[in-house]
Structure 1
Amino acid sequence: MKIRRRLWLRLAILIVTSLFAIPLLLYHLDDGQHRLKIYSRDSPRRNKRVDADYDVQDRPENAMRNPPLGIVDEGVNINNSTYSLTKHKAKTVFKQGVLGNYEPQEAKHSSLPGENGEPVYTSMSEKAQADSSIHEFGFNLVASDKISLERTIPDTRVDECKYWHYPSKLPTASVVIVFHNEGWSTLMRTVHSVINTSPAHLLKEVVMVDDMSDKPHLKYKLEEYIKQFNHKVKLYRNDKRQGLIRTRTLGAQYAVGDVIVFLDAHCECNRNWLVPLLARIAYDRKIMAVPIVESIDWDNFRYHPVYTTNHHRGIFEWGFLYKESKVPQKELDKRTHNSEPYWSPTHAGGLFAIDRKYFFELGGYDPGLQIWGGENFELSFKIWMCGGSIEWVPCSRVGHVYRNYMPYGFGKITSKIPIVLLNYMRVVEVWLDEDFKQYFYRREPSVEGYPVTNISDQLTFKKEHKCKSFSWFMDNIAYEVYDKFPPPPENKAWGEIHLKSGGSLCWDTYGQPPGGGPIGVSGCHHFGGNQLFRLNVQGQMAMGERCIDSGNGDTLHVQFCDIQPNGPWSWDEKTGLIMNKNRNSCVESGHDSRLHLKTCNEQVANQQWIIKMIWSWK
C-alpha cells in the first residue's frame, strides 16, 4: 500500500512539474539555427532570415544568400549568432525606445571654440601662421590648436542606433594609430577621442607607431604626455622610414587585443563608435567591420557627415582609384532596419576593424606593397575571394581630416614608376583574372611590362586557400562597377602627342582640374604624367580618369569623363589630323601655346600630330 502511495505521489509531482516545464522548454529550445518562440497575440511576427553557414567559399556562385546579421528585433529572433572568440552567444537586439546597453552619457562641453563640431576660423593677423601650418601639415593647425583635445562633435547617427543592445561579452580592441610628422593637436585629439568614446573594458590599448618623425613635439614631449593614460597608450618608434603600409603591419604585431582597429592620426570618434564594430566581429571573426567615415574640414575643422541621406559603399574604377557609390537596393533589401550593416566590395583603407588572428591568417598586408596605395584593394580582394566579407556599419561613425595636400615625401624611392602604380600592379597580377588585367593596362598603358617583384607567396596563398576568381567577386559582390565604370575599350594610340614638324612641344594639361583652365603645349619631358594621353577605339581622348573636351568653345579643356567610354575624337596617322567629329574641326596649336579647334587642313603644320608611345621606365 505504501509503495503504491509513493508511486502515485511521484506521478503527481512529475505531472505538476511537466505542466511548468513544457512551456519553458518550448521557449528555450534552440537547434543552433532556429529558436522556437511563444508569441502572444500582440507579439510582432516577422519572417526569419537564416543562414547556417556564412562562409563566402560555400555560397553558390549564382545564388548569394543574404548576409546574416545576427540580429534580434524586439524579441523576435531573426538570426542566431555565435561569438566565435569565446563561444558565447552574441546577440544584437533592437528595442525601440529603450536605450542600448552601451549608450554613453551626454559628454561634457568645453568652452573652447569648435565645440559640437563647429568650424573655427583664423583671423587675418593669423593668416601667415595658418598658411605656414597648412604647408607643413596639410591642414590649418592654427585652427586645430584652438580646439579642445576633448571637444564634442555632433551625434550624426540615425536615431535607431541608440536602441541597439549589443552582447555583454565582446572582444577587446587594440586601436593602432600610425603617424609621421603629425601635428600635435590633431594627433592627441585622435588619442583622447578614442579613449573618451570607447568602453574602458573593451579598449585594451592604443598603439601609437611613429614612422620616424623628426618633429621635436613628437619626441620627449609625446613620451611624457602619454604617461597620464596609465599604460593604456603605448608608443613604438621605427628606426627607419617604413611607410604607412608596413608600419601598420608593425602596429598589428605590437597589438595584444582580440581585434585590431586601424585609425589615421587625424580622426575624431563619434558616440558609441567601437561597440558596433566589435559586435560584427564577435558574430563572425571573418568580417572586416568598417565605420562610416565622416569629414573634418582641413581649413576650419568643421565636423559634418559626407552623406546625409543614402547609404554608400566602396567601389573602384579600372585605374584603381577608390570611389564610393550608393548601395544597390538589393543589398538594402537584405536588412530589416536602416541602421544595420551592409556588404561593401572595398573600403578607403584608413579606418577599419579586423580580428587580429584573422588578419595574420590572411598574411596581413602584402609585404611587397610599398609606402601607401593599393593596400585597401589587396586586403579587400583577399578577404572576399578567400572566405571573408566586408561590412560597413552605419552605427559606427568616425570623423577624418582630409588634407589639402600631402605635406611630406617618402624618402629615396628606387622605382622608375610611381609607387602607387607599382602597388596597383602587384594587386592586379595577384588577384585579377587575365581578362580583367587588360582593363587596368588599357587605363594605364605606360606601366605594362614593368617588372613586378616576386609575387609567388601571394599566388601560393591564393591557391592553397582555394580562393574564388575575380570574376566571381565582380559578379556577386562588386557588380555595380560594370555600370558605374564600364570596362575600357582597346586603345588605338597612346603616349605623348607632339607636332610632326618638331618633337620639342607636347600636349600638356598643366595639372588643370576638371572644369579648370585650358590645356596646351609645353616642353616634352618624356615622363608621362600630365603629358600622357590615350585615344581608344571608341573615340575617347583621356588621361587617367579625365577626358579632353572643348565644350561649346574652341579651346581644349579637361573634363570628367562620361560613364560610357566613348567620344568624338579620331586620329589619322597618315595626315596627323586629330579631329573632333562632333564639331567637324581639328586640333591646332596656337601662338598662345593653347590647343584650339580649327577648320581641318592637313597642309597646316600646327595640325599635324604624332602620338608616340613612351615608357619612362625603359
Structure 2
Amino acid sequence: MTRAPQGEKNSRRGFDEKAYLSSKVLKAGEDPYRQHAFNQLESDKLSSDRPIRDTRHYRCTSVRYDTDLPATSLIITFHNEARSTLLRTVKSVLNRTPPSLIQEIILVDDFSSDPEDCQLLTKIPKVKCLRNTRREGLIRSRVRGAEVATADVLTFLDSHCEVNSEWLQPMLQRVKEDYTRVVSPIIDVISLDNFAYLAASADLRGGFDWSLHFKWEQIPIEQKMSRTDPTQSIRTPVIAGGIFVIDKSWFNHLGKYDTQMDIWGGENFELSFRVWMCGGSLEIVPCSRVGHVFRKRHPYDFPEGNALTYIKNTKRTAEVWMDEYKQYYYEARPSAIGKSFGSVADRVEQRRKLNCKSFQWYLENVYPELKIPEKELIPGVIKQGGNCLESRAQDTTGNTLAGMGNCKGTVNNPPVTQEWVFSDPLIRQQDKCLSITSFSTGSQITLEACNQKDGRQ
C-alpha cells in the first residue's frame, strides 16, 4: 500500500479540508451519479489520503532513476468536478511524488459554477489556480495552463485521478533521455461505482479505427515476443490523451494543441499523429501507474452537442493529417460529410513548416496493423474484340500462363478461367495475380502469387 508521508500532511495547515469538503455534500435522497456521472457518495466517503495498492510489476521497484530529473509543472483542467475527487487527485500527487520534482500544480478551472472549488485549494503549497471567464473546454484550458507553466516539462493530468508509487520518475527519465518522447503511464481503473482501485493490463496500447474511435488493444505479438524486460516502454500509435508528460519546448515547437477544437474529443489523435509524423515518438511507461475514473457519459454540456463536437474535432484532424486516407474516415463516419469544421489553414501551414512525414509513412512505420478497408470487389471479364483474357495451363517452370481466347459463357457468368477481379492496382484470379515475366517487349503474361510491392504486377 502507498501512504502519505507525515511531513507532507503538516505543510497544509492553512487549508481547511473539512470545511472545503463539507460545503458540497450530497443532500439526502439525491442521485449520487447525476452531477458527475460517477458515485459521488462513495467518493465523499473516502479519505483524501487513502492508501492504494502498488500495481506495478515487481521488477519496477528495483529500477533506478537519475537523481537530477527535471521538475515538472502539473496541469489539471476541470469543470464542476466533485470536490472530494479533485482534492484526492491533488493530494495523491503531493503524497506520492518527491517534492523536488513538482514545480507547481496548475489547476485550470474551466468556468465552474463555484470559483471556490479551485480558489480554496491554493492554500495548499505549490497549488495555483487559473479561472476561465467563460467555458473554453479541455483543449484551450490546457494550452492556457501550459503557457503560464514555469517548468521545462509539462505533465497533463485529469481531475479524477490517483497517482501510484513512483509514478512520475519513470516518465521524466524517458523525457530527459530524449525530449521528443511523449510518454504516458499505464492507466489503472478507479471504479465509477465504488471507487475501488483496479490494476489495468500491462499488455495494452492505444489504437483506433477509421472513424477515429479510440480503443485499447493488445500489443502486437511480435512486439510482445521481443519484450524480455517488463519495465521496458511500449511504443503506442496513439495515447488516450488524459495523462501524459511532454517537454515544454517540444510541445510549443510542435504547435501545442489545435485550439480551434472545442470542449473535448479528438485532440488525442491530432496530437498523436503530429508527434509521430513530425519527428517524435509516443510510448507507455509500464513502471508508471495512474488510476483514473472512466465514466460512461459526459457529466457536462457540449454547446453544439457531444456528437457534433466530436465530428468537428476529428474532421479537423483528418483534414490536416490523414492526406488521401481521410476518405476512409468519411466512409466510416458518413455523418461528418458536409459538417462545418472551421479553417485549418494555420494547422496545415504548421505541418508544412515542421516538414512532417506523410500519413502513409505513419501507417507503414507506426500502425501497420490498421488495415485499409477493402472495397467490395466485383468480378468481370477483360475483352478485346471477340476475345477474352483467360488463364491457361502451366508452363515448364510451373507458372500459369495467360493469353487471349474466345469468350465463353456470358458476361455475367463467364468460366472461372476468364473471370478476373480488379483489386487496385492488381488484377487477380482467385489467389494469383497477373504478372509479366520481364520488362522487355514480348514478355509473357503469367499468374503468380499476389504481391503489391512487385512492380511486375
Q: Is the CA contact 1:294–1:397 (under 8 Å) kept in the aligned structure 2?
A: yes
**Aligned counterparts of 1:220 and 1:145: Cα–Cα separation in 2:** 18
AA of the residue aligned to 2:50: R
Does structure 1 residue 420 correspond to structure 2 residue 320? Answer: no
Q: Is the CA contact 1:316–1:322 (under 8 Å) kept in the aligned structure 2?
A: yes
Aligned length: 360
Aligned residue for 2:349?
460
From the superposition, tell whether residues 284 and 416 of structure 1 become closer, same or farther in structure 2 (CA, over 3 Å): closer
Q: Is the CA contact 1:314–1:347 (under 8 Å) kept in the aligned structure 2?
A: yes
Task: Report matched runs for 1:349-360 at 5 Å.
Answer: 349-360=241-252
Does structure 1 residue 487 correspond to structure 2 residue 383? Answer: no
**Aligned counterparts of 1:391 and 1:332: Cα–Cα separation in 2:** 14
Pairwise CA distance, 1:480: 1.6
From the superposition, tell whether residues 488 and 347 of structure 1 become closer, same or farther in structure 2 (CA, over 3 Å): farther
From the superposition, tell whether residues 420 and 222 of structure 1 become closer, same or farther in structure 2 (CA, over 3 Å): closer
Does structure 1 residue 298 correspond to structure 2 residue 298? Answer: no
**Aligned counterparts of 2:270 and 2:251: Cα–Cα separation in 1:** 13
**Aligned counterparts of 2:245 and 2:342: Cα–Cα separation in 1:** 29
Aligned residue for 2:286?
394
Within the candidate set 301, 308, 312, 1:409 is matched to 301
Task: Report matched runs for 1:27-426 at 5 Å.
Answer: 107=4, 129=28, 132-215=31-114, 219-220=115-116, 222-227=118-123, 229-230=124-125, 232-307=126-201, 311-411=203-303, 413=304, 418-426=308-316
AA of the residue aligned to 2:215: K
**Aligned counterparts of 1:373 and 1:221: Cα–Cα separation in 2:** 24
Q: Is the CA contact 1:167–1:279 (under 8 Å) kept in the aligned structure 2?
A: yes
Q: Is the CA contact 1:292–1:392 (under 8 Å) kept in the aligned structure 2?
A: yes
**Aligned counterparts of 1:315 and 1:481: Cα–Cα separation in 2:** 9
**Aligned counterparts of 2:217 and 2:282: Cα–Cα separation in 1:** 15
From the superposition, tell whether residues 372 and 127 of structure 1 become closer, same or farther in structure 2 (CA, over 3 Å): closer
From the superposition, tell whether residues 138 and 474 of structure 1 become closer, same or farther in structure 2 (CA, over 3 Å): same
**Aligned counterparts of 1:151 and 1:273: Cα–Cα separation in 2:** 16
AA of the residue aligned to 1:405: R
**Aligned counterparts of 1:366 and 1:285: Cα–Cα separation in 2:** 21
Aligned residue for 1:476?
365
Q: Is the CA contact 1:442–1:488 (under 8 Å) kept in the aligned structure 2?
A: no
Pairwise CA distance, 1:312: 0.8
From the superposition, tell whether residues 241 and 162 of structure 1 become closer, same or farther in structure 2 (CA, over 3 Å): same
Of structures 1 and 2, the one scoring higher in RCO (CA 8 A, sep 6+) is 2
**Aligned counterparts of 1:386 and 1:460: Cα–Cα separation in 2:** 13
Q: Where does the alignment leave 5 or more consecutive residues of structure 2 unmatched?
A: 7-24, 379-457
**Aligned counterparts of 1:257 and 1:245: Cα–Cα separation in 2:** 20
Question: How does the TM-score come out when normalised to structure 1?
Answer: 0.56
Q: Is the CA contact 2:3–2:51 (under 8 Å) kept in the aligned structure 1?
A: no
- Report SS of the residue matched to 2:32: helix
Aligned residue for 2:393?
none
Spell out, residue by residue over 1:216-275, the C-alpha distance to the aligned partner (whole angstroms, 9 max, x if none): xxx336423431x23x00011001110111111111112111111111100000000000
Q: Is the CA contact 2:139–2:263 (under 8 Å) kept in the aligned structure 1?
A: yes
AA of the residue aligned to 1:342: I
**Aligned counterparts of 1:329 and 1:375: Cα–Cα separation in 2:** 28
Q: Is the CA contact 2:3–2:49 (under 8 Å) kept in the aligned structure 1?
A: no
Aligned residue for 2:10?
none
Spell out, residue by residue over 1:139-194, the C-alpha distance to the aligned partner (whole angstroms, 9 max, x if none): 11111111110111000000010011111111111111001000010000000001
Spell out, residue by residue over 1:304-339, the C-alpha distance to the aligned partner (whole angstroms, 9 max, x if none): 0132xx511001001111011111133345544111
- Report SS of the residue matched to 2:31: helix
**Aligned counterparts of 1:396 and 1:170: Cα–Cα separation in 2:** 15
Aligned residue for 1:566?
none
**Aligned counterparts of 2:150 and 2:316: Cα–Cα separation in 1:** 30
Q: Is the CA contact 1:131–1:140 (under 8 Å) kept in the aligned structure 2?
A: no
Aligned residue for 2:386?
none
AA of the residue aligned to 2:48: L
**Aligned counterparts of 1:406 and 1:129: Cα–Cα separation in 2:** 24
Deviates more, 1:266-275 or 1:402-411: 402-411
Aligned residue for 2:420?
none
Identity of aligned residues (%): 42
Q: Is the CA contact 2:263–2:309 (under 8 Å) kept in the aligned structure 1?
A: yes
From the superposition, tell whether residues 267 and 416 of structure 1 become closer, same or farther in structure 2 (CA, over 3 Å): closer
Aligned residue for 2:387?
none
From the superposition, tell whether residues 211 and 305 of structure 1 become closer, same or farther in structure 2 (CA, over 3 Å): same
Q: Is the CA contact 2:73–2:151 (under 8 Å) kept in the aligned structure 1?
A: yes
Q: Is the CA contact 2:75–2:108 (under 8 Å) kept in the aligned structure 1?
A: yes
Q: Root-mean-square deviation (CA), in Å?
A: 2.4
**Aligned counterparts of 1:396 and 1:465: Cα–Cα separation in 2:** 31
Q: Is the CA contact 2:4–2:49 (under 8 Å) kept in the aligned structure 1?
A: no
- Report SS of the residue matched to 2:240: coil
Q: Is the CA contact 1:211–1:242 (under 8 Å) kept in the aligned structure 2?
A: yes
Pairwise CA distance, 1:491: 12
Within the candidate set 431, 436, 461, 2:321 is matched to 431
From the superposition, tell whether residues 131 and 291 of structure 1 become closer, same or farther in structure 2 (CA, over 3 Å): farther
- Report SS of the residue matched to 2:89: helix
- Report SS of the residue matched to 1:324: strand
Q: Give the number of the structure whose alpha-carbon radius of gyration is greater.
A: 1
Spell out, residue by residue over 1:338-397, the C-alpha distance to the aligned partner (whole angstroms, 9 max, x if none): 111121000111111101111011111112211111100000000000100001000000
Q: Is the CA contact 1:285–1:355 (under 8 Å) kept in the aligned structure 2?
A: yes
**Aligned counterparts of 1:398 and 1:488: Cα–Cα separation in 2:** 39
Q: Is the CA contact 1:332–1:342 (under 8 Å) kept in the aligned structure 2?
A: no
Spell out, residue by residue over 1:42-87, the C-alpha distance to the aligned partner (whole angstroms, 9 max, x if none): xxxxxxxxxxxxxxxxxxxxxxxxxxxxxxxxxxxxxxxxxxxxxx
AA of the residue aligned to 1:406: H
**Aligned counterparts of 1:267 and 1:105: Cα–Cα separation in 2:** 15
Aligned residue for 1:38?
none
- Report SS of the residue matched to 2:156: strand
Spell out, residue by residue over 1:93-124, the C-alpha distance to the aligned partner (whole angstroms, 9 max, x if none): xxxxxxxxxxx986579xxxxxxxxxxxxxxx
**Aligned counterparts of 1:491 and 1:188: Cα–Cα separation in 2:** 57
